[in-house]
Every structure is written in structure tokens, then in C-alpha cells.
Structure 1
Amino acid sequence: MGKIAMSRKGDRRLSLPSKDLMAAIAATRFGLGARPGEIDAAKADPQGFLIAQIRREGADIPQDDGESAGARFEQMRRYQQERRAVRQEKDGRGNDSTFAAQAFQSTQRDLRQKVNADFLARARIGAGTPASFRERWTLFWTNHFTVSATKQITSVLVGPFEREAIRPYVFSSFENLLVASSTHPAMLTYLDQALSIGPQSRAAQFVARRRNSATAGLNENLAREILELHTVGIDAGYTQGDVTEFARALTGFSIGREQDDRAGQFVFREQAHEPGPRTILGRRYAEAGVGQGLAVLRDLAADPRTARHVCGKIARHFVADVPPPSLVQRLEQRWMATGGDLAAVARTLVESPEAWDPTPAKIKTPYEYALSTWRLIGAEPSAFERIAPILTSLGQRPFAPPSPKGWPEDAQTWAAPDALIKRMQWAQGFAAAVADQTDPNALAASALGERLTPLAAKAVARAETRREAFALLIMSPEFQRR
């Protein structure tokens, strides 16, 4: 029997499910799917099981090569130089079978392998961690602050971006997370901020003299996406003028060149900064160099509209495409009361009765589906090639969300008939590889606990072979939804 959850004055009192059902929800909705024994481990105190995964030091760090964004950026620059050399030689001789071409191909292969290894290391955390709520919380933020391998120079920086700018701060303040992500080389290259020059800056005047051009380029991409996606949201009432002024405040945010002390790292270029005071969202910012842009970021992090926008996204990710307004309000109030303390917000999510509604309203993304299948058998993907093809086939190519909005969160995107057919094909192939060494009936109980319906249990039990039973289990609505 469920228990009555405490609620704020005036709220309708909500009942929590039984602890057995809550344990299943903890592993499959808040987490990334149950590993063997995980639901049993959560039964004594499902909420405490999740709260124990919240820690100030941040998320787990993937066991990749550990290279910094700066080192990767320099490697990509060398690759681009080698590519230009090959093209010039080919244009001059009509032949690219030279030492330069071989060096270029070797560097290209090395960089591709590094990116693949970054993704595999991340997937292995997701498949193997005993703290999968912590990892799901982290994945939410990597999607919120999207950078994508669809842009070549950014592709080698996605892994370092998650390791350096996201994972250390997922239980810190939102301000810290916003500043870290907005000043990281991956974000600066993905949204072209490193190329932005204030029209009246010293750098613009220099460029105009050299090119006989009246203006140099102000790029508004980062300013626009911070406002629309990362902070206050598109419905916050800001204007195009606010975007432009914010973009001017951010001029000078750039990346160190090879000859700089901070090559491949964040630098502020005073000569590219647009001088003068700015007015953004009704607030005036004095000229302060790098401090001007940082002051805007701090104010955006503290804005109540940011709390409303981001807490709505958290509720949609964890609970339902149309989340209960009371849940969003509870998260928002906790956010504002703590100054955007993400550990406190995560704890409030776990303590909110709306988040424990037994109805599984979300469908797993392809990445979540693949990880939960490995977690089902207590294993991890052994190679990039074991996980990348199914993700690409299902429209979630590794490290490559299609736009700064990130991967879609809604069920409709991932539940199209063609996508479900491809999931079934992958399920059958996975079953052929592993099912003969498993007991599908025991796996069904271990993976779903009290969420296993009699209909699903009967289908698995009546299957003619273990492979068929395993495929039926991981294609069941109970396993596909969370």
C-alpha cells in the first residue's frame, strides 16, 4: 500500500506507490534501467537510494584518454593545416599520394578514434554505473548545453567538454554550470563565438583597414542560444535588441592561438571586445571587459524566468512530456530559494510525489534503450562498433544532435513505426548474441520489478526459445517506457 506524501499548504495530498514499485521506478525512470540486483537494493528506501547518488564533486568521469580540450584543439588545427597542404599539393600536381597526404590521413584516423573512444567511455559509464540517476541527471545537462560533432572542429571537443564543463558542475550552482559551458572551447567553436568581433573594436578597425571593409563580424549565435535555450527561454519577452547587445557584451570571448600561453583554451581578447555600456533585458551593464559578459551570465542564471524554463525541462525529461504544473512549481521554488543549487533541485525532484506517478509516460531514447539493455544483463559495450550502428540507425548518431536544441525529449519522436521496427531488429540481433546464457524470466523480474505486468510476464514465459523471450522482454512496452 502506498503512503501519503507531505505537501505544501493548499496542495492536494498525493499518495506514493508501494516501496517495491518505487524501487522499480527509481531504477527505470530516474535511472537508466536496472542492473541485476539494483531494484532489490533500492527497496528499503527508494528515495534515499537516489538521494545518496547526489554529490557535490559532480558526476563520474569517463575513463577515456583524459586529453584536455586545449590539446584536442591544437591537434585539430594541425589536421586542418595538413588538409590544406594536401589540397594545395593536389591542385598543383594533380596527385595526392604524397607524404603529406599520408600524414593527413593518419591524423584524421587518430582524431576519429579519439572521438569514438570518448563516446564509448561515456556509454560504459551509463551501462555499468551503480549510480545511474547521477548519470541520467548528467545526460540531461549535456543535452541542455548541447555541442555537436556535426561541426568538424567541435567533434574532437565534445568529450572534453562534457568532462571539463558539465560533469564537475552538475550538482553545483547553475551559474557555475552556465559559465563553464559558455566559455568552453567546444561551445565557442560550435556557435562560432570565437569568430565574433565587436564592430567598433580595435580588431574591427584593424580588419577594416586591411580589407578595405567597413565592418567586421559580430556573431549572435551564442548570445541567442544562451537566452533561448540555456536560460530564460524563448517566451521570456526578450527582443532582438537584447540579443544584439548581449552578443556585443560577449565579444572577446575566444580561444587561445598556437602562439598564446593558453593555446586551445578560453581567452578574453580585449581588442575584439565591443567597447561601451550595454542594456540587456532592462538592466544596464557598465564597460568592464570580460566582466561585462560574465555579469550578464550571472544575472541570467539568477533570473526567475530561467528557473521556470529550466525546471520545466527537468520535469519533462524525468516525468512526462506534459509534466504536472505542481512539480514544475515545486522545482522552481526550490531553485529560487537556493540560488540555483542543482543538488537541492535534484533532491526536490526525488522528494516530489508527482515524480513517482506509476504511469510510465516517457519512452526511452535510442541511447537510453541501448544502455538499459546492457544494464539488463550486467554488461557494457565492448567497442564503439557495438553501440554506434543502432544509434545511428535510430536517428541518434553518437555525439551529433542535429541542432543547438539538442535531442528531442518527446515520446512521439522516438516511437515512430519505422523506429520501432528497427528496435525490434536490433533486439533480435542482441538476443541472438546473449540470450542463450540467460534466464529471460528471471531477467524480466530483475529488470522491471513491480512494473512487470502479468501480460508481459506471460509473453516472456510462453516464448518458444530464450532468444524469442529475451527479444519480447526488451521490446515490451514496460521495458521501452520509463
Structure 2
Amino acid sequence: MGQPTDPLVAANRFGLGPRPGELARIAADPRGHVEAQLADPTAARLTAPDLMASDRAMREARAAERVRQAERARAAEAGPAAGGKTPPGPAATPVPAMAGNPMPAMAAGPAPAMMAPGKPPAAAKPPLPIEAEIFRREQIARLARFCETATPLLERLVLFWSNHFAVSETKGNPVRVTVGAMEREAIRPHVLGRFADMLKAVETHPAMLVYLDNNQSIGPQSLNGRNSKRGLNENLAREIMELHTLGVAGGYAQTDVTALARVLTGWTFANPDEDDFHGGRFTFAPGRHEPGTHQVVGRSYPENGHAQGLAVLDDLARHPATARHLAFKLARHFVDDQPPAELVDRLARVWRDSDGDLAAVTRALVTAPEAWRAEARKLRAPIEFVVAMQRAIGRPADVGVANGALVALGQPTWAPPGPDGWSDEAAAWASPAGLSTRLDLAVQFARHAGDLEPAQLAADLWGAALPEPTRVAIRRAESRQQGIALVFASPEFQRR
């Protein structure tokens, strides 16, 4: 791939792919267009009346599960002789109406078609269980923001940081109903703020506490530990050091992991079964906390309850190894799988000098000469590929189509294979099967393009920069749909 023009860098490397007319609008000052997106630190926030806060989502989900448990118990007690049947799976529980937008169509499905005379009505589509409905609403809001945003750089940052602090909805319902809220509550408010604030917001979020089992961790010498068979769980402490801050080569030892795990004992959330108001919110449980002074990465932290752990996170956030680790990850994500060493050094220096100010670090990235002259070798991850197609078409985001495509491409929403998230390297997505699936999806998405002309679509995506072989292939397409499929399947569209 050749060196892209500045408008293409702005729209693809630092964006999510151009919407119709966007390339022409930013052509006069593409670098200014990117920098201008850093002006409003609140622009990445996402709120909607139909989205639940994480604590409410946990309370509603647990209430629904208690209802289902009671129904199963009654059915089992009735027995076959009384005609009782054990439900084959979790019954759907109505989702509470949210202020301003109860979203009835989503729960009940589309309106029934007119019936032919004498034909019995089709069975009504049952409502989704509350856990699935909460998750679906989060998916819809997220995809719509990606496809419609005027600040795509910020959405790219949301994708990056959510993957950096990866959790998976496959862990179970407590994570499934809070994973979208975690992105909204702990990631989005801080993408242009201080990394230390994002770190603390993430590590105290119920989704992360459940995903990495810290809600089950009990200090051996704590009040509860001396009377419990459960003990220390090091999952959260290990991933904080290995993935979230210092990096695997960050200079820590196993003794540091164990010490941090002791510091984090007692970090949990209020039980939704016991607290109808605060259930699902982060709380500190003194009875589970390992008492005493603990030494982590060469520093001693005296007993100070919950604040002891916050102090450790503050120091890890400003550690030079953290600056280096995250500077490399940012440069790799945006520029190249093997980013220029000078760029990584510069970002790490800005990180240290600014005390982890992510707006300053991002500004250093988007103004770096290396970022604008690098060849377009980064393969779009599946979410980037799908969003780029929907943005190019310029039609409302279709979450059903998008979810099917992401599953087919091996990147289902909020379901990474592990705490290290999805790979950021091209080789992970460039398998023959993966590329073949992209071709199939290009054809599928072309069907949603309406009366869009392939030549106009190509102009919206590349202007005059489209290589001649691809231009000729599009022009020779046998149909409008085939021409659009060729646009989406082209090598130029796959890379950023």
C-alpha cells in the first residue's frame, strides 16, 4: 500500500471511515479537522434515556433472576402429576420503561403484518429476557454513535481504551448487563482526561471486579479470611500490572502481584439481593481487607482502607514503564504494527511530562509527522470494517446486520477471548478464512446501499486518490450492487 493523502489519514487512520461528503469537507484542513476533535473533553460521553446505569442494571437483572428462580421452584414443586413443567430456560422478564423512551418495539419485535382472510395469526415474538435487552440497547447506542459521530477520533479512542481494559460479557449476566455501562461510565468520560482517573474508574467498576473475580478475593488475615475457606484471588492485581499499566516487561515480580492483590481485598460491590438502593455499586468491605502495610513495586503503602489501593493505582499510572507500555500500544494501534521508535519515545515523554494527560498524549500522536506519512498497512479490525461500511452507505446503523457480521468475522461485541483483549496486529485478522468472509460481507452490505452509485461512493471514500486498477474494476462491474461490493472488498478499503 502507498502513502495516503492527508484527508485519507484524517478520515481513516484517525477516524472510522468517511461518511458521504466528509472527505470533501475536511480536504482544506484535514490536520486541523483531527486536532479540533480534541477541543471538547466531554464529547465522547454517551447518554440516552433507555440506557441503565450499571448498578440499576445489576439490580434489575437480579430481581428478574429471583422471579425466574421462584417460577422454577413452583414448577418443580407442582411436579408432573399436577401438570407442572420446569421451564426449559430463563423466562423473559419485562424491561422497566425508562424515562422518555420505553422502546416497546425492541422488546416485542416488529408489528404483525396484515393477515389473509381465514389465516390464523402468527405467534407473537416473545420479549427478550431483561439481560439480553439491556445488552442489546447498549449495542444499539454504541453502534449508532460510531456510525453517526462527527468526532470519530474520540470513538476510535473509546474502542482502543475499551479493548485495553477488556472484559467479556460471556463471563455471565453480571458482566453482560454492565459491560456497556462500564464503557459509558469508566472509559468515555476520561478518554481526554487523566489516565489515573480512567484506571481508578475501571478497576472499581463492577464489570471489571466480577470479570477478574476480585469480588471473591478475601485477605487471609482479614476478619472474614480467618473464618472463611475462600482466600486471595490475584487475577485483578496481575492484569492491572501486566496489561493495564506496567506491561509484561514492566519490572514487577510475583511478590508485587501478591502484595497488590492483598491491597485490593475488600474491593467489591453491594449485593443487589440485600440492598435495593445501593446494590450493584462499588463498595469497600473492611471485613475482607488484608490489614497492614504492603510493599508494591518498591514503595510501601500503609493501611488506609480503600485509599490504600487508590494510592497504588496513582503510582502505577505515572510509572515510566506504564508510559512506555501505553505509548507503544497507542502508536501500534493508530500507525503501524511496528511503530517508529522515535514516535513511541515522544509519546512516552509527553505521558511522563503531562502526568498521564490523555488529551496531551493524543495531541502528540495526531500531530506526529510519522503518523501522517506512514503507509496504510494497518488492516481494519472487524468492528472498524463493519462501521466503515455503514458510515460509507450513510444510512442508519443496523445493529442486527452489524452483529451478524462481527460474529462471522470473529469479533463479537464485548466478547474478547481474554483480559488482553482483541489483537491489534494485522496478522490476527488476515487469515484466508477471515478475508473470504470480508468478501461475502461486502456483497451483503452492498444490498443495503439503496440507489447509491459505485462511482460516487468511491469518490466519497478516496477522492482522486483511488488507484487506477480498483477504479477500472468498479467501472466494469456488471451491476450497481456488484460495483459497491467491489468498493468494500477492495484492498484500499481493508486498510487504514
2:443, 2:230 → 1: CA distance? 56
- Alignment deviations for residues 36-70 of structure 1 (CA, whole Å, 9 cap, x no partner): 12112222221210111112225141546221100
Tell whether the 8 Å contact from 1:24 to 1:450 is kept in structure 2 after alignment.
no
2:435, 2:178 → 1: CA distance? 32
2:45, 2:29 → 1: CA distance? 23
Written as runs of structure 1 = structure 2, the 5 A alignment for 1:196-215 is 196-207=217-228, 215=229
The one-letter code matched in structure 2 to 1:114 is I
1:465 aligns with 2:479: yes
The match for 1:409 among 416, 424, 433 is 424
1:404, 1:97 → 2: CA distance? 46
Deviation at 1:278, TM superposition (A): 0.4
Q: Which residue of 1 aligns with 2:239?
A: 225
2:309, 2:154 → 1: CA distance? 31
SS class of match (1:433): coil
Q: Which runs of 5+ in 2 are unaligned?
A: 94-127
Deviation at 1:93, TM superposition (A): 5.4
Q: Which residue of 2 aligns with 1:49?
A: 33
1:356 aligns with 2:381: no
1:480 aligns with 2:494: yes
1:117 aligns with 2:137: yes
Identity in percent: 43
More helix by share: 1
Written as runs of structure 1 = structure 2, the 5 A alignment for 1:44-443 is 44-54=28-38, 55-61=40-46, 63=48, 65-86=50-71, 88-89=73-74, 101=87, 104-107=90-93, 109-152=129-172, 153-207=174-228, 215-258=229-272, 259-260=274-275, 262-382=278-398, 384-434=399-449, 437-443=451-457
- Alignment deviations for residues 328-348 of structure 1 (CA, whole Å, 9 cap, x no partner): 111111111100000011111
Measured at CA, do residues 62 and 447 of structure 1 come closer, stay the same or move farther in structure 2, by a change above 3 Å? Answer: farther
RMSD over equivalenced CA pairs, Å: 2.1
Deviation at 1:262, TM superposition (A): 2.5
- Alignment deviations for residues 122-167 of structure 1 (CA, whole Å, 9 cap, x no partner): 0111111121111111111111111111111201101111111110
Tell whether the 8 Å contact from 1:58 to 1:171 is kept in structure 2 after alignment.
no
Measured at CA, do residues 57 and 65 of structure 1 come closer, stay the same or move farther in structure 2, by a change above 3 Å? Answer: same
1:114, 1:34 → 2: CA distance? 30
Deviation at 1:421, TM superposition (A): 1.3
1:224, 1:132 → 2: CA distance? 32
Measured at CA, do residues 97 and 198 of structure 1 come closer, stay the same or move farther in structure 2, by a change above 3 Å? Answer: farther
SS class of match (1:113): helix
Measured at CA, do residues 316 and 451 of structure 1 come closer, stay the same or move farther in structure 2, by a change above 3 Å? Answer: farther
Which has the higher mean CA deviation after the structures are superposed, 22-31 or 452-461?
A: 452-461
TM-score, scaled to structure 2: 0.87
Measured at CA, do residues 466 and 103 of structure 1 come closer, stay the same or move farther in structure 2, by a change above 3 Å? Answer: closer
Deviation at 1:102, TM superposition (A): 9.8
Q: Which residue of 2 aligns with 1:452?
A: 466
Deviation at 1:449, TM superposition (A): 2.9
SS class of match (1:106): coil
Measured at CA, do residues 248 and 452 of structure 1 come closer, stay the same or move farther in structure 2, by a change above 3 Å? Answer: same
Measured at CA, do residues 206 and 183 of structure 1 come closer, stay the same or move farther in structure 2, by a change above 3 Å? Answer: same
TM-score, scaled to structure 1: 0.90
2:156, 2:171 → 1: CA distance? 25
The one-letter code matched in structure 2 to 1:378 is G
Aligned length: 455
Q: Which runs of 5+ in 1 are unaligned?
A: 1-16, 208-214
The one-letter code matched in structure 1 to 2:132 is R
Tell whether the 8 Å contact from 1:26 to 1:46 is kept in structure 2 after alignment.
yes
- Alignment deviations for residues 226-261 of structure 1 (CA, whole Å, 9 cap, x no partner): 101100001112111111100000011110123346
Tell whether the 8 Å contact from 1:451 to 1:478 is kept in structure 2 after alignment.
no
Tell whether the 8 Å contact from 2:75 to 2:86 is kept in structure 1 after alignment.
no
